[in-house]
Structures are given as structure tokens and as C-alpha cells.
Structure 1
Amino acid sequence: MPRTASSARRHTGRSRLLRIAAAFAVLVALAGYLTAQYISGNKGVERCVVQSADGSSGRGHAYRLSPEQAANAATISAVGTTRGMPERAVTIALATALQESGLRNIRHGDRDSLGLFQQRPSQGWGTERQILDPVYSAGSFYRHLAEVPGYSRLPLTVAAQRVQRSGFPQAYAKHEPDAALLAAALTGRTPAALTCTPTQTAAGPADAAKVRSALARDFGRSVLPAAARAADGAAGGAPAASTVSVPVKPGRAAGDGGRVRRGWELAHWAVAQAETLGIEEVGYAGQVWQAGSGWRTERKESGTTQVRIGLVR
């Protein structure tokens, strides 16, 4: 039956109302998402980037991640090198954590799986509290990896599967390029390769004692001189320091190359932890990173015996 003019107008009106309602629903959803991101500190936004040695940002030469992911990756790397594990082991660990948790310390998973590596208390990986400690969980992963004969010569997916016993063993392989890029920067082999842009939400001055505590947590107490550790314990109500200087001890590589690599490892760790610890500047070997502007060359060349970490004031 042909429509009358009035029924056509009613149909057009209903269609217009439906379109307006749909558009409003989209706007409400977007507003809710942006509000959640603001409240949570925007942790899921990719505001860190690691680049290859040639500085290229083309496909396959750069990897973007959130500050939360960068901080967890830096901890995983630091725990590995502190245990004397090679860069290949760090790559395997990072690829595994990328697959298992997206480099997020999550409190859920398949059955009772938890944390960065989705380790299970029921399978002897530790208590829930231990597994949710990134230093503990990374250490557990490396301990099991070290027991895999010839792991450094195995394909990454095979080495990871020997530790994880996953139902999807081939899934680790797709993360190898990004994990290798991260490992090269976080172990210090590629200088000035990681930069982050923290949000400017610091409620007050950063705490130098917390920075030193985090360094000792990830790298071990020997990363800082005993005098610095004692000063933290006796600080009391003393004014907070605005800079933390970390001495760079010679690394495992021969000559000054080992020291420089160790220095860049510490410098990149500080950049990755910038949002968590209120770090706004990192200086090492003639390069300075500043929150919001990335790395630049210093006018006056600095040495390679210490990393300078400047804090939000």
C-alpha cells in the first residue's frame, strides 16, 4: 500500500531521532573512555617509543608502548642482567611477557594465572603476592630459563615454551622483533634509543629515596654506594634531593665499552620509570633526556662514570 505524505514524514522523523540517539550514544561512550583514561593517568596510551640503532621510525624499526609497559619491561631487563643473563635471555623474557600479559602486571588470567608471565600458584611458581611482584616473577622466569640446555641457541618460541608450557607455543614468535628491539635498548647496547613522554600530573616533588629504593629493587643493593643507602635511612626531615647520581661500574664487556653499555642500561631504566618515580631528566655520556622533548646532545660532553637522574620539583 502506498505511503501517505504524513506517514512518510513520521518515518523520516523516526529515522532522524534514531541517528541522533546513536550519535549521542557514541559521544557518551567516548566521554566515558576519556574520563577513565584521565582518572587512571592515561596508562594505556602509547607514550614511549624505542627505536633501532639507526634511529629509523619505519616499520620494523620502532616499537611503541605505554609508560606502564615500559616500566615493567625495564624491570624484567634489569633483573635479567643483574643475574648475569645475556641479552638473548632478556629478549626471550620480554617476548614471553608480551604474549602472556602485554607487559602488564595483571591480577587475572587462565585459571589461577597471574602477573607479567601468567605464573600459577597452584603449579609451584609462588604465592599470589610473590607472583605479582615483577622482580620476583622475572627472577622465577630466568631461573627456569637457565635450566633449559642451550636456550640461547634455541628458537625463541622453543625456549619460551620449555619454561611456560603454554597451550599456544607458537604465539611467542610474533613478539620477537619487538622484544629484540626493547632488549637492545634496555640492556644498553643501543644508546639513547628509548624515550617516554610522562603526563604532567605530579602532585608534589619526587622522592630521591624512592628512586634509590627502586634501583636497588631492580638491580640489587650494590648498584648504589653504601653511603647513599645509609643517607636514605638517616634522612629524617632533611630537604629532599633533586638529583640522584648513579655510579656506573664497568660491565662484563671488555674495556670502556662495558661501562658505557651499563650506563645506558641504567639511563634507559630511569627513562622507563619516569612517570612512576617523577623523573624529569636523565643525563649520560653527553646525552640528556627531558620529559616531553626526548634526547638531545649536551653542549658540554659529560663523562661515562655516572648517570644523572633529575627529579620533578
Structure 2
Amino acid sequence: MHPDDPLDQKLTQDRPATAAADPASTERTIGRHRAAERPRRGGRALLASTPVRVALATGVTCCLGAAAFAGTRADDTPREPVAEAVAERAATDERASRSLDRAASPAPVASPSATPKPTPSATRKAPRKPAKPARPRPVAGLTQAQMDNAKIIVDVGVDLKMPRRAMVVAVATAMQESNLYNLASDVLPESRQYPHQGSGSDHDSVGLFQQRPSSGWGTVRELMRPAYAAHAFYEALREVPGWQEMSVTAAAQAVQVSAFPDAYARHEERATTIVAALT
């Protein structure tokens, strides 16, 4: 014991009566605390404060000794359990804070410019079916069926590059021969097998121009087609010399060789109105 050492004085004052009666026991206790006060391998004291030594002197040596051993690794390297726990807790708190920040952050909103534009193929409309040509409006007192047949006659003349006067001659002729209806023949039962708009009985005459298969105008099937019949009429009119200078009646009679040659003249005015409406 050292009388001048404050630690020794403190231990001498606080020790129990039994310890005062045993100087050797007191010396051993003080020696243990001084040994604990000396640095270990790393130069650090496990118990360096006076309250710790007092606690040891009062009989808590075992608990503090366990704490001292708990603070030492298997290789006797000193540890700082409190500091490590604090650092680990701080790292855990930081990870939790980041997770909360990510969960709380709003989802990114795409800007209008970032919206993909539809491709031309996506906006392309299905092709429309070609519209049927409008039927011509009837004029000159004709029915719709008569006007439709007149249009066929005029269209064929346009395709053949025939002058308008030839179209007037053709329409006037059809008006006289069939009243602009596609007629079958009671004499030719075959003619009824094809689309028709009535029937006549003038020998084997059929169609818009009452042309006869027996005269070489074509077959029954061909002559029952209004476009074919009109084409045959225009080709025959071309073969008439000087037909352009003839009257409508004379030009029509030169082609048809009708028993009533003057009958075509009465249709000239109406035929002119019809052709004008269709060209």
C-alpha cells in the first residue's frame, strides 16, 4: 500500500471491516486493480476510471471481469462493442431511410414529347371500295331504264371517238326501233335466256337496235348486250359514205334499211337533248 496514493486512500476508507482486519487481502485487491489499470497488448486499459475500481473493490469483480473478456477478440485484439453497435445501428437506419425515400418518391411522369407517335401504318385507313357511278338523271320524258340504255349508247360512241351527231343518230334509231329498251324476241327463245326488258315479235330482231342474227349482225347472245349492239351500229354507220352530211333520218335508214325510213326524224329533237345531257 501507498499512503500517498489517492486510490489507496479511497480503498482504505471504503473497504469493509473484514478487509481491514486482513492486510494481505487488501493488498491483493489493490494489486488486482492496479494490474487492471496497466495497459494490455494494444496499450489500452480495460478499466481505467476510479468508479470502476470502486465497483471492483465492493465485490462486482466477476461481472466486470466478464465484460472485460467480452471486449477482447480471440486473438486478444481489443474491441469496442459500443462503437461497433452504434456504427451498425447508424448503417441500418441509413438503409431504412433510403428505402423510405425510394418508396415515397413519385413515379416519373412521361412528358408529352416522349409519347410515341403512331406509325403511318397504324393510322392508315382501309381502302374504300370504288363507288358505283351514279345513274344519269332521266331527261326528255325517259324512264330510268331508258336513260341507262341511252348512256350506254353514248359511252360507246365516246370510246370510238365518234362525233356528237353520230350519237344523236344512234339514240334516235334506238328510240324508233325498241323505244330504248333491250328487247328479246318471241321468235328466238334463246334471247330470253339473257337479261332483257321486254320482248318483240319482228322476225328474229333483238336488242336496242332490233338487229337480226340472220343478217349477220352477230349472235343472239352478243346482240342482247346493249354495248355490243351500239358498237355494231357505229361501225356500220362509218361504212356509209358521206353520212355526216345526211339528215338523221337518212343516216339511220342507210344503216337499218327499215320499211319506214321517215320514222326516225320524229326522234331527232329528243335524241339531241338526251345526248347533250350525257356528254
Higher relative contact order (CA 8 A, sep 6+): 1
Q: Which has a greater percent of strand?
A: 1
Between structure 1 and structure 2, the one with the greater Rg is 2
TM-score tier after normalising by the smaller chain length: 0.3 to 0.5
TM-score, structure 2 normalization: 0.45
TM-score, structure 1 normalization: 0.40
